[in-house]
C-alpha cells in the first residue's frame, strides 16, 4: 500500500476532525489474503495505533476484481462493531495512485481498524504438542471460548430473511471464492495426494449435504464466520476476536468447526492421529459447548462445514510445510465426516486412515 504521508494525515484529520501527527506508517506483514500496516499517531496528545488492512489480487479466493476486494472490506467495516469482543472498525477507504480517494475513483481499498493486543491461539496449539494433558490455563481458555460462542449463537435471526440468509450461508460455504470451491481452486496443478476429480467428488458430497440441511433454517443465528486460531487473541485474562467474515448470520456449526478443526489438524501434524492434549481439548470443547447451548443437533449438521475447513488446512498455500501424507489424512478426514450421518469424536482416527 503506497500512500504519501501527507495524504494519510489529511485523511485522518477528516476522520478525527482535528490536527493529527503521524509518527509511524509501516508494514506489519502479509498473509495469504492480504497485508497489514501499522499507523501510529498523536491524537488529543495521546499516542494511538490503528491497523490498515488490504487484500491481495492474483491469488484467487474470489478477490480477482477490485470490486471483490471492495465488497469484503465494506462488509467488514459495516459488521465488525456489531459482534462482542471484536476489534473495532474505524473506516474503509479507497486508494488511487499514492493518495486516498472516493470509492468510485479507487482501484484498491483498505480497512482501518483497531490494533489487536496479545498472542493468538496458535501459540496454545503449538504448546499442546508437548503436553500429555491440558493444564488449568488451557481448560479455562476453552471454557471462555465456548461460553463466548454460546452467547453469540444464542442471538437467533428472527427476521423474515432467516431462511434466505441460512440458504446463502450453506451456498457460500460451498461456492464462495473464500470457501470450499474457491480454496480447492487454489491447489497447485502438480499436487500429488489428490486430483481435480477427487475435489469434484468432495464438492458433490457437499451439495448433497446442503440439500439435507436446507430445512434447518431454524438454526440461523449470529456467527463470527471465521473463528479460527489466528483470529483469537488472548491478553491477560481476556481475548479479542478479529476478521469476522462472510455474513452476520448462519449456522453455529460454522464457528464450532472452524475452531475445532485446529485440534484435529495439530494432532495429525504432531502425533499422526488424534491423541493426547489435542484429543482432550476437542472433547472438552464439545462438552462445554453442549452444556452451555444444549445444541446436540450440531453434531448432525457439521459435516459440510468440517469439509470446508478440512480443505483449508490441507491446502499448500495456507500450510506449505506439512507432508503429502498429512494432507492425505486430512482429505480422508473430510471424506469420513461427509460419509457419516453425524460427527463423532470417537471415529476421527478411523476417518483419517
Least confident of 28-37, 135-144, 206-215: 28-37
In sequence order, the β-bridge partners of residue 113 are: 51, 89
105 φ, ψ (degrees, to nearest 5): -95, -5
Task: Work out the pLDDT band at 1, boundaries 50, 70, 90.
Answer: low
As a whole-number percent, the residues of the chain with pLDDT over 90 amount to: 80
Boundary-marking domain end, from 76, 97, 114: 114
> What's the average model confidence in pLDDT over 117-127?
96
> What's the average model confidence in pLDDT over 35-59?
88
Joined together, the cell numbers standing for residue 279 give: 484429543
Least confident of 94-98, 220-224, 252-256: 94-98
As a whole-number percent, the residues of the chain with pLDDT over 70 amount to: 99
Residue-averaged pLDDT of the chain: 94
- For residues 149 and 283, state if they share a domain: yes
- For residues 259 and 276, state if they share a domain: yes
Q: Is the pTM of this model over 0.85?
A: yes
> What's the average model confidence in pLDDT over 309-332?
97
What's 174's domain CATH number? 3.90.1200.10
For the segment 162-221, what is each residue's pLDDT rounded down to a tens digit? 999 999 999 999 999 999 999 999 999 999 999 999 999 999 999 999 999 999 999 999
- For residues 137 and 267, state if they share a domain: yes
For the cut 70, the answer to whether the pLDDT of residue 84 exceeds it is yes
- For residues 138 and 275, state if they share a domain: yes
pLDDT given at position 5:
81
Among all chains, which residue has been given the C-alpha cell 494525515?
9
For the cut 90, the answer to whether the pLDDT of residue 59 exceeds it is no
Q: For residues 44 and 214, which has the higher predicted lDDT (pLDDT)?
A: 214
> What's the average model confidence in pLDDT over 296-314?
98
pLDDT given at position 125:
97
Residue 150: domain span: 119-351
- For residues 129 and 261, state if they share a domain: yes
pLDDT given at position 228:
96
pLDDT given at position 164:
97
> What's the average model confidence in pLDDT over 102-107?
84
58 burial type by CB count under 10 A (0-12 exposed, 13-18 middle, 19+ buried) = exposed
C-alpha gyration radius of the chain: 21
> What's the average model confidence in pLDDT over 231-246?
95
- For residues 254 and 172, state if they share a domain: yes
Q: How far is CA 171 from the centre of its chain?
A: 17
Please tell me the total count of domains within the chain.
2
What's 91's domain CATH number? 3.30.200.20
Instruction: Compute the distance between CA of residue 285 and CA of residue 146 in angstroms, rounded to an integer.
Output: 7
222 φ, ψ (degrees, to nearest 5): -65, 135
Tell me how far CA of residue 163 lies from CA of 153, 205, 213, in angstroms: 16, 22, 11
Boundary-marking domain end, from 114, 137, 159: 114
> What's the average model confidence in pLDDT over 241-261?
97
**CA nearest to 259, candidates 144, 347, 170, 350:** 144
Instruction: Compute the distance between CA of residue 54 and CA of residue 215 in angstroms, rounded to an integer.
Output: 37
For the segment 11-25, what is each residue's pLDDT rounded down to a tens digit? 999 888 888 899 999
- For residues 36 and 124, state if they share a domain: no
Could you write out the three-class secondary structure of the chain? Answer: CCCCHHHHHHHHHHHHCCCCEEEEEEEEEECCCEEEEEEEEEECCEEEEEEEEEECCCCCCCCCCHHHHHHHHHHHHHHHHHCCCECCEEEEEEEECCEEECHHHCCEEEEEEECCCCEECHHHHHHHCCCCCCCHHHHHHHHHHHHHHHHHHCCECCCCCHHHHHHHHHHHHHHCCCCHHHHHCCCCCCCCCCCHHHHHHHHHHHHHHHHHHHHHHHHCEECCCCCCHHHEEEECCEEEECCCCCCCEECHHHHHHHHHHHHHHHHHHHHCCCCHHHHHHHHHHHHHHHHHHCCHHHHHCCHHHHHHHHHHHCCCCCCCCCCHHHHHHHHHHHHHHHHCCCCCHHHHHHHCC
- For residues 227 and 165, state if they share a domain: yes
Boundary-marking domain end, from 114, 146, 163: 114
Amino acid at each position: 500500500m503506497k500512500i504519501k504521508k501527507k495524504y494519510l494525515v489529511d485523511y485522518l484529520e477528516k476522520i478525527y476532525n482535528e490536527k493529527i501527527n503521524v509518527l509511524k506508517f509501516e508494514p506489519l506483514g502479509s498473509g495469504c489474503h492480504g497485508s497489514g500496516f501499522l499507523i501510529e499517531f498523536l491524537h488529543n496528545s495521546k499516542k494511538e495505533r490503528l491497523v490498515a488492512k488490504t487484500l491481495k489480487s492474483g491469488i484467487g479466493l474470489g478477490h480477482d476484481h477490485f470490486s471483490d476486494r471492495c465488497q469484503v472490506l465494506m462488509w467488514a467495516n459495516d459488521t465488525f462493531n456489531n459482534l462482542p469482543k471484536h476489534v473495532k472498525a474505524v473506516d474503509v477507504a479507497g486508494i488511487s495512485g499514492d493518495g486516498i480517494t472516493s470509492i468510485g475513483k479507487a482501484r484498491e481499498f483498505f480497512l482501518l481498524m483497531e490494533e489487536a493486543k496479545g498472542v493468538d491461539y496458535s501459540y496454545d496449539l503449538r504448546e499442546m504438542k508437548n503436553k500429555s494433558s491440558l493444564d488449568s490455563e488451557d481448560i479455562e481458555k476453552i471454557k471462555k471460548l465456548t461460553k463466548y460462542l454460546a452467547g453469540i449463537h444464542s442471538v437467533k435471526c428472527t427476521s423474515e430473511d432467516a431462511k434466505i440468509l441460512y440458504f446463502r450461508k450453506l451456498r457460500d460455504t460451498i461456492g464462495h471464492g473464500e470457501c470450499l470451491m474457491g480454496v480447492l481452486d487454489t491447489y497447485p496443478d502438480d499436487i500429488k495426494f489428490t486430483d481435480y476429480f477427487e475435489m469434484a467428488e468432495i464438492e458433490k458430497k457437499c451439495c448433497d449435504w446442503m440439500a439435507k440441511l436446507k430445512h434447518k433454517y431454524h438454526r440461523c443465528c449470529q456467527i463470527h464466520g471465521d473463528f479460527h486460531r489466528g483470529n483469537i487473541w488472548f491478553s491477560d485474562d481476556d481475548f479479542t476476536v478479529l476478521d469476522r467474515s462472510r455474513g452476520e448470520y448462519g449456522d453455529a456449526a460454522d464457528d464450532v468447526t472452524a475452531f475445532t478443526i485446529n485440534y484435529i489438524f495439530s494432532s495429525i501434524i504432531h502425533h499422526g492421529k488424534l491423541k493426547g492434549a489435542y484429543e482432550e481439548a476437542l472433547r472438552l470443547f464439545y462438552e462445554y459447548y453442549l452444556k452451555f447451548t444444549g445444541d446436540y443437533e450440531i453434531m448432525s449438521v457439521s459435516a459440510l462445514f468440517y469439509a470446508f475447513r478440512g480443505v483449508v488446512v490441507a491446502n499448500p498455500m495456507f500450510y506449505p510445510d506439512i507432508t503429502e501424507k498429512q494432507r492425505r489424512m486430512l482429505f480422508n478426514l473430510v471424506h469420513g465426516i461427509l460419509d457419516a450421518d453425524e460427527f463423532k469424536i470417537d471415529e476421527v482416527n478411523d476417518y483419517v486412515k
